Each structure stands twice: as structure tokens, then as C-alpha cells.
Amino acid sequence: MIDQLLKSANGPLQDLLASAGGSRDSSDAVRESFLDVIQRQASSGDYSGIMEMFSGSETPADSPTVNHLKGAFGSGISEKLGIDGDKAMALASQALPLLLNFFNNRVNAAPRPNQEIAESVVNSMKKNDESGLGEVFSSIFGTSNDTDSFDLGDVIKFGSSLFKK
């Protein structure tokens, strides 16, 4: 589910890859690496990446969260794309703010206060409360017939995807 949401950021991500001298077709591998890092972090009890994704605040490239995530993200990119570590780390440093801010922009457009959304996501994850996550995510991503929108079942699957069992 998160991969479906991240596909909405595909155009800017492909542009980033092209400007970095990479293939626009590598966006799937970058999205998968991002999802892997966020899932591993959350399953270990570290919710800082999730909190940043749903903070509603602009995430700069030099933020503590980007610095914290980019090592594992860069390693994943290097492995999936078969590129050297330095190039992967440079790409990770640029892609992380883009992906994190994709979610932040959605949070800012939601009717609930940003801090409440971030706290609700983390609390629901800690309790493994999929219905609580569904409520939060539906307020962020909507439930209309718009193709960029998701129904409650999709939203719950998104929340569940953050708990890799």
C-alpha cells in the first residue's frame, strides 16, 4: 500500500534520478528501499521516521531524520541499483526529503492538526491498532473516487504495511 502512495511521487522522483545521472526507471528500487528502511525502523521501535513523515513540517536535506535514515537508505539503493556507495548516499540525501515531504504535504492538507496526526499514527502503530490507523490515514489521504485517493480498506493496508511481521 505505501508503494501505491509513493507512486504519486514518481514524477519528481524520476526527475531527481535523471538529474543525478541515473535511470528514471530506477524509481521502483528507490521507493522499495525507502519502504524497507521505514518498516525496519518502525518494527525496531524507532518511530522518528514515521513522526517526520507525518509531521507536516518541511524536511530539509540536513535534518536529523534525513541524516539518521540515509545510511540504511543509501545502502539499500546501492544494493538494489548496483551503484557505488558514495553515489547511493548522494542520491539518498536528495531522495529522502522528497519522499518525506510528499507525506508532509498531504498531512498539511488534512483537516486534523499535524501533531495530532503524527502522534495518532505512532500510538496506533505501538498498539497495533489498524482501525485507529485507518481513521488517521483516511483523514490524510481521503476516501473519494479520485485516483490519488484511497478507500478505508486501502488506508488500513497502508498502516499494516508499516508492520512487517
Q: How confident is the model at residue 120 (pLDDT cuts 50, 70, 90)?
A: low
Domain ranges of the chain: 2-161
How high is the pLDDT of residue 25? 85
Other C-beta atoms lying within 10 Å of the C-beta of residue 67: 12
Task: Tell me the CA end-to-end span of the chain in Å, nearest whole number.
Answer: 15
Nine-digit cell string for 93: 540525501
Return the pLDDT at 10.
84
The residue ranking higher by pLDDT, 60 or 130, is 60
Question: Look-up: residue for cell 513540517?
Answer: 57
- Predicted TM-score (pTM) of the model is 0.71
CA distances from 83 to 14, 19, 37, 65, 92 (A): 17, 16, 18, 23, 12
Instruction: Give the pLDDT confidence score for residue 91 in this predicted structure.
Output: 93
Q: What is the pLDDT of residues 31-58, one digit of tens each?
A: 999 989 988 887 788 888 888 887 888 9
Fill in the amino acid letter for 158.
F
pLDDT for res 87: 92
Tens of pLDDT, residue by residue over 22-33, are: 888 889 899 999
State residue 155's pLDDT score. 46
Query: What cell was used for 111?
Result: 483537516
Q: Which of 7-11, 89-93, 137-141 has the lowest mean pLDDT?
A: 137-141
Q: CA-to-CA distance for 74 and 30, rounded, in angstroms? A: 9
